[in-house]
Structure 1
Amino acid sequence: MQWLQSLRQRLPQHKYAIDAAVLGDHAQLPWSNLGYWQAGQQNYAAACCALADHLGHSVNLNSKDKLLDLGCGQGASLLHWQQHYQVQYLAGVELQSACVANIQQYLPELNAIYQASFLRLTELQFSQRFDVVLCLDAAYHSPVPLLLEQIRSVLNSNARIGFHHLVLSERWKNLGALQRRKYQFLLKSADVNLKDLMTVSALSACLDHFEFKNIQIEDLSESVFSGFADYVQKTLNSKPADDSVQGSRLDHFKIRMTAKLCRKLYQEGIVRYVQVTAQSKN
């Protein structure tokens, strides 16, 4: 577990910050997710775009929608929704001030951007409610009930939602106390609270409790966990970080450890990566 302890001590400027250039995305508004990796895919930005499209297509995102993007990171998803879906009204919520400043500089035509936690949506002064709320590869840092409570407060009637989270497989029930403690530590290193994770059936029941219908929970573990780990193994691990740039070394370290965690979670199959989509009942 020493590599996980080292990871927590050597994180970059913000615990969610990532230097996408290290992974191959040099855009002014870069991506910062694990990506959806299909056979033969070896381009980070394309894989990130594929994860966004997989979510966008699943909620039937279209140009007439008023869209709220939660945890929009460095802005690539906002630009993507704008260019490829031509959404009618687009707003973002992002916790990192550096990311918000970057978005304001390079995406001035955005309808609105809020520097805030998406767990405090009820405190924000939105000018309207939304037809679609998406959270791309970020919701698993939060408990589902609190997330859904906040999302419900900003939805139009019959609105659609989509987000990614982690779930516990049925094998979790057979683990002993020591093994469960190991997973608690592993997930804490990635700022995920084990107590916040549910089984698929419990997650579905939670969505129903918050009055969502047409619930779909899709396991993307192979395409996300395994795909990201393979990409880092084949590209980043074969290229040593530039010793002249301290920040680069730290970012390399963080990314390698994230990939190692993804590999472990995928291979052991106890914690799974899922895409969740649903529609409000009213």
Structure 2
Amino acid sequence: MKWLQAIRKSIPKHKYAINAQMLGDDRELAWSNLGYWEDTTSSYPEACQALADQLAQSLEFTSKHNLLDLACGQGASLIHWQDAYQIQKISAVELQQECVENIKSEYSKFVDIHCDSFLNLKNIPFQQKFDVVICIDAAYHCNLNSFVRSACSVLNSNGKFGFHYLMLSDEWKNLNSLQKQKYKWLLKAADVNLDDLMSKAEMAQVLENNEFKEIQILDLSKQVFAGFASYIQNSLVLKTDSKKLDQFKIEMTAKLCRTLYEDGLIKYVQVSVER
């Protein structure tokens, strides 16, 4: 029974679960994104917070905003919105039950959190619609049209919306079918469907069709893909014999980031829009 229990403990409880402690954040409500890495970045939590701040600043967060955080993970962003931006009206949606329970036990007084998919927002009993809807490093796991339509169902008529996604470069159209198949397999391992990805013009069209304006699509591939890959390559945090499956998942993610950055055919982008 001991070996069976050990195996169960070593297996991630959800396909999106990540061992944040192994990455460098050992807090109960930790960060869990790829991070925004610059030459001055010194730690994993710092890089994760920087990625969140890049998106929040593009949406011009204020303390008066009624905010919905989609795929909030282990909850670090929720604390950050309150501490750094003094936002008091915060709601969140997260698919991982364990994360939701941890957040409820620590911060239920100031966060209205729901365990559900961010594609099902119209069926979640929120008390009101939102001034800002934000999704850090997660939306590319689903179809863009479905994601945008879901967010629109809970956004105010003059609200702001920001997220990260993967985008096809202009050179993508020059690949043959066999070359594209390679990327389809690579992305599938990361739970990303290549058929959901679009060019910049196609992404903008989807957003315009949903009555968004002031569309900004910013390429963060160097800061995110290359930055995360370099951090994992140079990090001492992963030099351990425990939790090999968690370590394998992290290292494979880093290798994928390195491949995508060096090939330059699939970009990591920050998208911010308003109605």
TM-score class, shorter: over 0.9
Aligned to 2:239: 240
Aligned to 1:221: 221
Specify every segment of 5 or more residues in structure 1 that has no aligned partner in the other structure, as ranges.
Answer: 1-9
Aligned to 2:143: 143
How far apart are 1:239 and its partner, in Å?
4.8
Distance 1:110 1:138 in 2: 23
1:267 is aligned to 2:262? yes
TM-score (structure 2 length as normaliser): 0.94
Distance 2:151 2:238 in 1: 41
Aligned to 2:247: 252
Distance 2:174 2:12 in 1: 37
The 8 Å contact of residues 131 and 159 in structure 2, kept in 1 or not, is answered as yes
Deviations 1:135-158 (A, max 9, x none): 000000011110111111101121
Aligned to 1:40: 40
SS at match of 2:118: coil
How far apart are 1:12 and its partner, in Å?
2.0
After TM superposition, list the pairs within 5 Å mapping 1:56-75 onto structure 2. 56-75=56-75
How far apart are 1:103 and its partner, in Å?
0.6
Distance 1:157 1:14 in 2: 35
Aligned to 2:180: 180
Q: Does the C-alpha gap of structure 1 residues 239 and 128 become closer, same or farther in structure 2, counting only changes over 3 Å?
A: closer
The 8 Å contact of residues 11 and 254 in structure 1, kept in 2 or not, is answered as no
After TM superposition, list the pairs within 5 Å mapping 1:27-176 onto structure 2. 27-176=27-176
Identity of aligned residues (%): 53
Distance 2:33 2:88 in 1: 25
Q: Does the C-alpha gap of structure 1 residues 209 and 11 become closer, same or farther in structure 2, counting only changes over 3 Å?
A: farther
1:196 is aligned to 2:196? yes
How far apart are 1:11 and its partner, in Å?
6.2
Question: Which stretch shifts more, 40-49 or 64-73?
Answer: 40-49
SS at match of 1:31: coil
Q: Report how many residues are paired.
A: 266
Deviations 1:80-117 (A, max 9, x none): 10111111310000000010011111212223100000
The 8 Å contact of residues 94 and 116 in structure 2, kept in 1 or not, is answered as yes
The 8 Å contact of residues 59 and 162 in structure 2, kept in 1 or not, is answered as yes
Amino acid at match of 1:272: K
Amino acid at match of 2:239: P
The 8 Å contact of residues 94 and 116 in structure 1, kept in 2 or not, is answered as yes
How far apart are 1:249 and its partner, in Å?
1.4
Distance 2:57 2:34 in 1: 18
Amino acid at match of 1:31: W
The 8 Å contact of residues 238 and 247 in structure 2, kept in 1 or not, is answered as no
The 8 Å contact of residues 22 and 238 in structure 2, kept in 1 or not, is answered as no
Distance 2:228 2:239 in 1: 18
Distance 2:72 2:252 in 1: 23
Specify every segment of 5 or more residues in structure 2 that has no aligned partner in the other structure, as ranges.
Answer: 1-9
Moved over 6 A (4+): none
Distance 2:157 2:229 in 1: 39
Q: Does the C-alpha gap of structure 1 residues 249 and 38 become closer, same or farther in structure 2, counting only changes over 3 Å?
A: same
Distance 1:268 1:156 in 2: 39
Distance 1:190 1:110 in 2: 33
Distance 1:233 1:111 in 2: 36
Distance 1:11 1:52 in 2: 28
Deviations 1:41-66 (A, max 9, x none): 23000000000000000000110000
Distance 2:238 2:146 in 1: 41
SS at match of 1:72: coil
The 8 Å contact of residues 88 and 110 in structure 2, kept in 1 or not, is answered as no
CA RMSD of aligned residues (A): 1.2
